[in-house]
Amino acid sequence: MKVTSFIAKWRHVELKERSAAQEHFLDLCHLLGHPTPAEADPAGEAFGFEKGIAKHDGGEGFADVWKKGFFGWEYKGRHKDLNAAYNKGHRGRIATSGCAEKVGCR
C-alpha cells in the first residue's frame, strides 16, 4: 500500500472504532512493509488483536493490538479522548508482555 492510498482510504472514514480498528492496523502493516499479526504469529502468542490486560486498579480489559515486548495499542473513535487511551495503557499492564510503549490512535 502506498502512502497516498492509505491517506485517501482513511481521510474521510466515519466508521466506529470497533468497525475500523483492525482494518486500519492491517493497512498500517501493509504501508510499512511489516507482517500482519496473523502473518508474523499464526498462533497469536506474541502479536495479535484484543489481548487481555489486567488493570492495576482492578478489573480486566483489552488492548486493541499487542506485540509482546514492543507495544500495546489502543484505538479511540473520532472525538474521543486520546488521554483515556493512554491512561488505559498506563493503568493496565499488557498480560505477560513487558511492553515498552503504549500507543493511542484515532
Using left for φ > 0, alpha for ψ between -120 and 50, and beta otherwise, residue 101 falls in beta
Percent of the chain at pLDDT > 90 equals 41
Tens of pLDDT, residues 21-66: 999 999 999 999 999 999 999 999 999 999 887 766 667 778 889 8
CA distance 7 to 87: 27
Rounded Cα distance, 98 and 20, in Å: 27
* Helix (H) or strand (E) segment spanning residue 36: none
Cell of 14: 466515519
Q: Is 50 helix (H, G, I), strand (E, B) or coil?
A: strand
| 64-87 per-position pLDDT tens digit | 898 988 888 888 777 777 676 556
